[in-house]
Structure 1
């Protein structure tokens, strides 16, 4: 009779180890979805192995599936309460979600298990500093005044030595082109003009509805782009392929303009300048990364403070809280960054009524708009991200029927070809950051709709070279805990 260990045949354990080794190879090759699949098969053969759950948690973290990472890390800890990496992985996933207090508990537990480990102590101290800093910032925020209402950019002097783009009276196309060319050559925009762009954008967005109705005239066209995540040189390539934004060549950028990529400042000033120049030539939706908690973790906050100052970072926070949450094109195409909702019956009027002028909450319609994802089945299941919900094809179809719509367009997820059509053609995901984070190898894409039929036409493109500045260059020190 074949020997068994903990109820598993020795042949199963050997096969599980083989699958684990293959999963490790896939992970090292940045094939994280493949790694998850292989770890899952290994777990099916050896369900009490803490290492397998911790490894799968790490792969989920790289896929930004933090809810699944927390669940796996918790299972790893249940299998072996003294397995350090289980706490590491769960703490890292909490950290990635901005849940500093929960992360701190796990890193403290790591130090209890391995009290003399210098790396563990370093991570604990970084996490403690982050929690203390967050408390301090919350306290002073209660007494601080709005930058938008107190700043006068006209009092800021422009030095004679400044050779970059200048706004003489108002933002012009010549200024925007010069600014983009300066950015391309890694030159900075003067803070006077940076504040001017931000204040004008703030003024425009403040009076913009939470749900924006966009009209494409007969024989007109409209382009929808997904996440660009600070990949400025790929943004320039989109404009090279499809033309600059204008009233005749309008765009919608569907959230996640910043973070991860280390040219987020250049991306956001380019988009905001075009928004000021052509208010109906460029539309913007808020993404989950247009938020203070994400910006502090994934690099934008650090980038703004490095290239400008703390006040500029506060100004961006205020502007991001004014961004619309959704758009409807010709009354038929619903465009939103994340996805749909945890319950049926949500009407467009409910979305219009959301109080969006705030940081995103942990739950509710606003949170789900920014964080939800589709899944391949029917009904609703917990989100792999730990925020929002995963919704099936039946949910999409009911939402469209309830609101007399034809199509949902969303972004929020990397796709190998830059886009994906699912839910029987009723839902499209578009992602416009090719070779995401310089490692995913994916294509980027954008969608062009032409009136009156509004059939989607896809353009895919590869990443273009950029200066040797790595993604996450400006991320917080404690981001190393995610590695």
Structure 2
């Protein structure tokens, strides 16, 4: 039987192309899970085709599985050094993971090959700016510079021009009227005056300081569930007392309990595995059971993961994911949900909702622009 240029037999090549075509359609329909499934089937039929890996990488980017996206993009480049979309998607994944130097190297490759690509040039400049900024921050870092800029601003000396008709704080206080006016002002896509913005920022900063000071006191002994952003830990033995001791008033580290609370995800099989996001880990039902038993909890509630129905119950009912952003980024088609905890046993009741019209502004434009370069 004849082989294709990529080493697959003619029949396998045709079957793989059929899987890719199905995957492309699912991708266009924003059903990224099925797109990933059929790209995977195409790869199983023909593992030497860079485009299949590149397309699956893009689908992983859309589902924020940056670790998997990085792996696929790297494989695509290994298979075809001239596959420019592979470099672009690897740069995108590295940007999302905070690996700016690695991203810059790939953006540089893209720009050299496509010097007239405005989007690639913009990404290169954006990434280069971040790399230089990070280097500058490391060079000048000292204890004095750890103070917030809010502490050094002379907000009261700022003047509000007479022609500004937007919302203003009343004697520097954030009132209900101000918040209602602010909501309408933003719906009309208008900009808040910088003095008002700094005043609001100053209030939020003070509140955050109080929250950090008080958060450790809020963990009641009667509480039978634990709420976090991501999930559980890369190692056993972490207790609620350990969580209380975490210094939250800082940038998240690349590993450790704080990192895990933000970025880990549940998986159906027991044990732990490498994270699809490229940071922290994935944890199984046995990990959840041990944590709950050791800390005398009934279940955990976490977010940070798009779910078609807005929520998902896994790990034998002991791990609940709830995601409150419907049609995430205007492209996922998911419902949103929130939980109402009732009764003495804090039994969760789920409320689902769909998206509603919003102002004509691109959702998460800063992030969506990283996901350019279509399928093949």
Smaller-chain TM-score range? Answer: 0.7 to 0.9
Q: CA shift at 1:191, angstroms? A: 3.6
- How does 1:102-113 map onto structure 2 within 5 Å? 102-110=102-110
Q: What is the CA RMSD across the aligned residues, in angstroms? A: 2.9
Where 2:104 maps in the other structure, the secondary structure is helix
From the superposition, tell whether residues 185 and 118 of structure 1 become closer, same or farther in structure 2 (CA, over 3 Å): closer
Match of 2:74 in 1: 74
Supply the distance in 2 between the matched residues of 1:477 and 1:457 (Cα, whole angstroms). 33
Cα 1:133/1:205, change in 2 over 3 Å? closer
Write the distance in 1 (CA, Å) between the matches of 2:364 and 2:208.
28
1 CA distance for matches of 2:37 and 2:321?
22
TM (norm. structure 1) is: 0.69
Residues 1:44 and 2:47 aligned together: no
What does residue 479 of structure 1 align with?
Answer: 370
Distance 1:7 1:82, change over 3 A: closer
Q: Residue in 2 aligned with 1:150?
A: 152
Residue 32 of structure 1 and its aligned partner are, at CA, apart by 1.4
Contact 2:292–2:299 (CA<8 Å) still a contact in 1? Answer: yes
1:417 aligns with 2:309: yes
Equivalent in the alignment of 1:438? 330
Give, in angstroms, the shift of residue 419 of structure 1. Answer: 1.0
Q: Deviations over 1:204-252 (max 9, x none)?
A: 322434783687xxxxxxxxxxxxxxxxxxxxxxxxxxxxxxxxxxxxx
1:170-209 per-residue CA deviation (whole Å, 9 max, x = no partner) reads: 4443443443344444454444443333323322322434
Unaligned residue ranges in structure 2 (runs of 5+): none
User: Does the C-alpha gap of structure 1 residues 170 and 468 become closer, same or farther in structure 2, counting only changes over 3 Å?
Assistant: closer
Match of 2:254 in 1: 362
Matched, 1:400 2:292: yes
**Match in the other structure for 2:228:** 336
TM superposition shift of 1:379 = 0.8
Distance 1:328 1:93, change over 3 A: farther
Relative to structure 1, the CA distance from residue 451 to residue 175 in structure 2 (aligned partners, 3 Å threshold; closer, same or farther) is: farther
In structure 2, relative to structure 1, the CA distance for the partners of 1:193 and 1:7 (3 Å cut) is: closer
Aligned to 2:116: 118
Q: 1:47 to 1:333 in 2, by over 3 A?
A: same
Give unpaired runs (5+ residues) of structure 1. Answer: 216-326
Which deviates more, 175-184 or 20-29?
175-184
Aligned counterpart, 2:64: 64
Report if the CA contact (8 A) 1:32-1:63 is conserved. Answer: yes
Choose from 304, 316, 320 the match for 1:428.
320
Shift of 1:24: 1.3
Pair 1:385-2:268 in alignment: no
Structure of higher RCO (CA pairs closer than 8 Å, 6+ residues apart): 1
Aligned-partner Cα distance in 2 for 1:83–1:329: 56
Q: Is the 8 A contact 1:210 1:356 kept in 2?
A: no
Moved more, 200-209 or 369-378: 200-209
Partner of 2:183: 180
Does residue 463 of the first structure (1) align with residue 359 of the second (2)? no
Of 444-453 and 180-189, deviating more is 180-189
> How far apart are residue 421 of structure 1 and its match?
1.1
Matches for 1:201-216 after TM superposition, within 5 Å: 201-209=204-212, 212=215
2:240 equivalent in structure 1? 348
- Residues 27, 59 of structure 2: 8 Å contact kept: yes
How far apart in 2 are the matches of 1:81 and 1:356? Answer: 43
Deviation at 1:380, TM superposition (A): 0.6
Deviations along 1:314-341, one digit per CA (max 9) or x if unpaired, are xxxxxxxxxxxxx679421101111111
Q: How far apart in 1 are the matches of 2:149 and 2:115?
A: 44
